Amino acid sequence: MRAATGGKATSIQQEIIYLLDRPAEPFFVPKGERGVVFEAPNREFLAERLRPMVAELGSRWGGEVKVPVSAVAALPDLSLPLQLPRRASFSLFIPLHRKIAARLVSIFLGTKTYEEFLSLSVYARDRLNPYLFVYALSVAILHHPDTRGLRLPALAEMFPGRYMHRGVISMARAQASILEQTNRMPINVPRDYTASDLDTEHRVAYFREDLGINLHHWHWHLVYPNVGDRKIVNKDRRGELFYYMHQQIIARYNFERLCNRLGRVTRLLNLREPIEEGYFPKLDSTVASRVWQPRHAGALLHNINREQDQLRFDLEDLERWRDRIIEAIHSGAVMDETGKRVPLSEGEGIDRLGNIVESSVLSVNRSLYGDLHNLGHVAIAYAHDPDARHLETFSVMGDPATAMRDPVFYRWHATIDDLFQMHKNALPAYTVAQLDYPGIKITKVDLVTEGRQNPNEFETFWQQRDLDLSRGLDFSPRGPVFARFSHLQHAPFTYKITAENSINKPVLGTVRIFLAPKYDERGLEMLFRDQKLLFIEMDKFQITLKSKPTANVIERASSSSSISIPFERTFQDLESPPPGMTESSFNYCGCGWPQNMLVPKGTSEGFPCQLFVMISNFNDDKVNQTPGPITKCPDAASFCGLRDKKYPDKRSMGYPFDRNPRNGVDTIYHFLTPNMLLMDVNIFFSGKTESPTP
Ligand code: CUO
């Protein structure tokens, strides 16, 4: 361990995290509340532009915790990462930027010791584009053997400009400069700041602009990078998870839309048609001093030709790739780079297709199937300046940290999901034998919600929350500055499931819980083939079922959901792990659907839904798990997988709703086998706003 000197020592090998603090301030300015200062071994470590500053100001900044940084035998070659100017915008969807990021990540991961990793990071930090640096260092920290146990600070803290109205950031800056800490009041962030009710799409802005949802999405792409060393990219079933996690986002978005009397999102099939939905994000980047460009209603997409990003492609390229992918799906096989047919099989086909469509370096043939999803993001993100004649950079669609704010994100991802559904619909339907669990019968399900008198009712409301913005405010005095924002929340609830086991011994099962709207836009009950796309995963867990005569009563709390992480983890603070959590158990776990968005909003009169509960045979679900220690934070495994492990469910992701049904099944009622139960429930939105807990 490298000892920190002076003041309080930081814990083992944790100092590197402080390089993520206030990304635009040099490394020799104190970081975090503890005032961590990195001490360069020699002047060479300082970026040239900073050298005169250090000479002039000497050690004016002080700092309580000094972290000496060792010299390194060979300084890294940063020529590729340096191609991205410091004030440019960085996008994971632009191929050159992806290449640059991959190089930087591999430089960091090529270090043999923590000391070396820290030294190279310090050396690189103030030379490079801050957003690129934060992305690459975060990926490297998550994967480096000596740092993988560390917690990453939430991106909303490092770059609040990606999450907050720009007025809030300037008010925060003013507060930090003018007021003593004790006199600072939380800055109110209104819920409706991006549009008025004239824009019907604005009814679901609370979903699109939710901080936790956007943080989850950024974190997911951090855990599942699509370029770089295969060791990092090639995680178990990552292509399939790309499909499933995004499919669930679309399902949840459509669910929210139906709650708000909006129709399901329409696909962006014709790239030549004006995009009806405008979006004005009103975000501001604190690092690149730029405004995120809006998109006016009726914008057109264009061919892209932007020299500085080495980016040139035509809309026709996107169309061609899409056609080729559709052709491959219909022929049941893709062609690899040697011209060999690789089947899109029932088991692995979806994983292969996910990597092709996204696309990742695992795509079997990037020259044939191209870079459809990523460059679709790019084409949309540059609608306002496709050839850089106005020297503008991309809009929110160009960054996974912000893309989900824009209504067009869902239209594009609905188009992408459609390809996956084409493949899924071409697969054989699940037979009764693949669905049933002979001997197991669910006899009753109750949903009990705290504070509600009637069973089988969810309750939602608004909740206010304070978020400290000071970590992202470069060059302003220290101390917290809070923004007070509100988000959707639900009352905690418990599922009570009664199940009988008539097999003569205890057996294992997997409980799978889904929720879908009961009626479509016209108030009619849906066909199974439509409703299956709207079933959102609520939970999945393993149980032991005792054999008769006693019935099994299984209780499961909403806070245990397999898709979500607690609020505290979404907004994890750099320096204080939430109560009850040790630092090392905190790790990798920033990925996960925010707990507060588990239940869709519903309506004040009660939105009718169907809760589906199934117990599947664990023998068919079981995975021969990779040996190694138990993962400490499996909470959000359904969307994020398990670190260094196989995806913990052998079934296809989305099972049993990922395929068209067997013959004779028109509605969900026909679909049910005895190990399943369907129940009508309602979601009531109470309209109240809860204040933050002090
Ligand atoms: Cu997550 Cu398009 O993949 O944003």
390-424, pLDDT tens digit by residue? Answer: 988 899 999 998 999 999 999 999 999 999 999 99
What predicted TM-score, i.e. pTM, was given to this entire model? 0.91
CA distance 633 to 579: 15
Residue 582: what pLDDT? 42
Cis geometry, peptide bond prior to residue 549 (ω within 30 degrees of 0) = yes
- Domains of the chain (ranges; CATH) run 2-147 (1.20.1370.10), 195-425 (1.10.1280.10), 432-472+481-690 (2.60.40.1520)
Q: How far is CA 492 from the centre of its chain?
A: 23
* Packing angle, helices 407-425 and 315-331, rounded to 10: 30
- Is the beta carbon of 217 within 6 A of some atom in ligand 1? yes
Q: Quick one: average pLDDT of 238-253?
A: 98
β-bridge pairing 440-449 and 493-501? antiparallel
Nearest 5°: CA angle at 197, between 194 and 198?
Answer: 100
Whole-angstrom Cα Rg for the chain: 25
Q: Which of 94, 244, 246, 417 gets mutated to test ligand 1 (max ligand atoms within 8 A of its CB)?
A: 246
- Looking at per-residue pLDDT, the higher value among 505 and 3 belongs to 505
According to the model, what pLDDT value does residue 477 have? 62
| Residue closest by Cα to atom 4 of ligand 1 | 400
End-to-end, the C-alpha distance of the chain in Å comes to 38
Q: How many angstroms separate the alpha carbon of residue 96 from the centre of ligand 1? A: 18
User: Side chain identity at 331, as an amino acid letter?
Assistant: S
Q: Which atom of ligand 1 is nearest to the CA of 221?
A: 1
Cβ atoms of residues 161 and 283 within 8 Å = yes
Closest ligand 1 atom to residue 413 Cα is: 2
- What is the 400 CA–ligand 1 centroid distance (Å)? 6
With a 6 Å cutoff on the Cβ, whether 377 touches ligand 1 is yes
Answer whether 344's CB lies under 8 Å from 232's CB. no
Average of pLDDT values for 636-656?
A: 90
Q: What percent of the chain has pLDDT over 70?
A: 88
pLDDT on residue 571: 61
Ligand 1 atom with the smallest distance to the CA of 412 is 2
pLDDT attached to residue 198: 85
The answer to whether residue 175 scores a pLDDT higher than 90 is: no
How far apart are alpha carbons 266 and 414 in whole angstroms? Answer: 7
Lowest-pLDDT range, 43-47, 270-274, 667-671?
Answer: 43-47
Q: What ligand 1 atom has the least distance to the C-alpha of 246? A: 1
Q: Which pLDDT value is given to residue 637?
A: 87
Residues recorded for the chain: 694
Count of beta carbons in the 10 Å neighbourhood of residue 693? 8
Peptide bond between residue 359 and the one before it cis (omega within 30 degrees of 0): yes
| Tokens 């060393």 belong to residue | 229
Q: How far is the CA of 412 from the centre of ligand 1 (A)?
A: 9
pLDDT at res. 655:
97
Give the pLDDT score at 168: 75
Tell me, in angstroms, the distance from the centre of ligand 1 to residue 327's CA: 23
328 close to 369: Cβ distance less than 8 angstroms: yes
The CA-based dihedral angle spanning residues 292, 298, 302, 308, taken in that order and rounded to the nearest 10 degrees: -10
Distance of CA 665 from the midpoint of ligand 1 (Å): 33
Angstrom distance (rounded) from CA 654 to CA 243: 10
DSSP string, 156-207: HHH-GGGTSBHHHHHHHHHHHHHS-GGG--PEE--S--S--TTSGGGGGHHH
**DSSP structure string for 450-483:** TT-SSSSEEEEEEEEEEEE-GGG-TTS--S--EE
Q: Give 206 or 636, the one with higher predicted confidence.
A: 206
For the CA of 358, the nearest atom of ligand 1: 3
Q: Cβ–Cβ contacts within 10 Å for residue 669, how many?
A: 11
To test the ligand 1 pocket, which listed residue (91, 410, 413) has its Cβ within 8 A of the most ligand atoms? 413
Binding site membership of 411 for ligand 1 (Cβ less than 6 Å): no
Least confident of 39-48, 360-369, 645-654: 39-48
C-alpha to C-alpha distance for 234 and 89, rounded to whole angstroms: 27
Report pLDDT digits (tens) over 419-474: 999 999 999 999 999 999 999 999 999 999 999 999 999 999 999 988 877 766 66
Check residues 165 and 310 and name the one with the higher pLDDT: 310
Q: Which residue has the higher pLDDT, 164 or 142?
A: 142
Say which residue, 59 or 295, is predicted with more confidence.
295
Which range scores top for mean pLDDT: 198-207, 405-414, 685-694? 405-414
pLDDT computed for residue 258 by the predictor: 98
Give the pLDDT score at 5: 39
Cβ count within 10 A of residue 126: 22
What pLDDT does 475 receive? Answer: 59
The CA 372 to ligand 1 mean position distance, Å, reads 11
Q: Which residues are catalytic?
A: 358
Q: How many C-alpha atoms does 393 have within 13 Å on its Cβ side? A: 20
618, 648 Cβ separation under 8 angstroms: no
